[in-house]
Amino acid sequence: MTSKETILADTESPVGATVRRFDLLAKAVGQSASSPDDSPLSRASSLPQVLGPTLDFADVSLILGRTTILDKVTFQVRPGSVHALVGPNGGGKSSLIKTLLGQMPHQGRLSLQWPGEPGTISYVPQALEFDRGLPMTVDDFMAAMCQRRPAFLGLSKNYATAIGEALERVGMQDKRKRRMGALSGGERQRVLLAQGLIPPPQLLVLDEPMSALDEAGIRVFERLLGDWRAAGITVLWIEHDLEAVGRLADQVTGLNRRVLFDATPQQALTPERLLTLFSTHPRSLA
């Protein structure tokens, strides 16, 4: 099997890869109202086997104005692994992801090694900022995100099935005709997860996907994570819930402007390491 490497230069997005992403980062979405429907858990579908890429961050720095946001960040994400990125607020986690997606300039070397032809990267953003008054249904949103044809023409046949399945997997099938603005924060988060499933990615980048989810939503997410791991998808996952990281990740990188540790959850999530990671303000790191 041939291996293709994509090296990302300053401001470059992953050449040759299909990158699906939002350009809007957002204010925090509200806490979810309870949504008891977790029926997809009992009928999870298995995903086709893929081989995700390897990600290599080598001395990646990001300097905006006079501020160093990322300082010589070096670590590797193994193919098919669930790799968590943890650290304090403002530590540079989202910025690192935006650098990976080509939305921010960087210094250093950032490369993706694909096992074959460059594949699809999906991105689930930290939150979604949009006008709650917009007359946009869940279906409209999914159509706008997933298909090329304009959303006002409705769902193309090709995508209607895939979109239906994705919404089913996150337990939102019965809310397809709801306005996005009428959804709870947790329901919106589920829709964001659903759009990340189409087309099926080889690399999935998740920025705090659990932050607004309720209990049922968290169970849906955990099931999805299990499916992605079983399918061989590489998952880079920013998460504040350290208990979930300890349970579900294969590897954990602690980031506070620079990499403070990169190890298995058992080795990484020790009280000493977490204290060092979370007790230092990014600005005070010399």
Binding pattern for the stretch 28-67 against ligand ATP, x by CB under 6 A and - elsewhere: ------------------------------------x---
For residue 93, the minimal CB distance to ligand ATP (Å) is 4
Minimum Å gap between C-beta 270 and ligand ATP is 21
Using CB under 6 A as the binding criterion, the count of chain residues that bind ligand ATP stands at 11
Nearer to Mg ion, 27 or 148 (CB): 27
| Contact residue for ligand ATP among 14, 40, 87, 119 (CB under 6 A) | 87
Nearer to ligand ATP, 120 or 276 (CB): 276
| Residues binding Mg ion (CB under 5 A) | 94
**Minimum distance of Mg ion from residue 209's CB (angstroms):** 12
**Of 7, 61, 90, 276, which one interacts with ligand ATP (CB under 6 A)?**
90
CB of 67 to ligand ATP, least distance (A): 6
Nearer to ligand ATP, 180 or 277 (CB): 277
Question: Looking only at residues 123 through 152 of this chain, which bind ligand ATP when binding is defined by CB under 6 A?
Answer: 126
Q: Degrees (nearest 5) of the Cα angle 208, 211, 214? A: 140
Measuring CA to CA, which residue among 213, 202, 267 is closest to residue 235? 202
Provide, rounded to whole angstroms, the least separation between the CB of residue 126 and ligand ATP: 6
Query: What whole-number distance in Å separates Cα of residue 283 and Cα of residue 286?
Result: 8
Q: Which two tokens stand for residue 67?
A: 């501020």
Tell which positions 93-122 bind ligand ATP, by CB under 6 A.
93-95
**Which one among 52, 91, 209, 254 touches ligand ATP, defined by CB under 6 A?**
91
CA distance 167 to 194: 6
The two structure tokens encoding residue 170: 């996150």
Comparing CB distances to ligand ATP, the nearer of 40 and 125 is 125
Query: Angle CA(33)–CA(35)–CA(36) in degrees, nearest 5?
Result: 140
Confirm or reject binding of residue 185 to ligand ATP (CB under 6 A).
no
Nearest to 137 by CA among 183, 169, 168: 183
- How would you class 217 by CB atoms within 10 Å of its CB: exposed for 0-12, middle for 13-18, buried for 19 or more? buried
Nearest to 214 by CA among 40, 29, 30, 32: 32
Burial of 46 (0-12, 13-18, 19+ CB in 10 A): exposed
Does position 89 bind ligand ATP by CB under 6 A? yes
Binding status of residue 284 toward ligand ATP by CB under 6 A: no
Give CA separation, 247 vs 144, 225, 241, in Å.
Answer: 35, 11, 10
Among residues 81 and 94, whose Cβ is nearest to Mg ion? 94
**3-state SS assignment for residue 112:** strand
Q: Which residues would be at the binding site for ligand ATP (CB under 6 A)?
A: 64, 69, 87, 89-95, 126
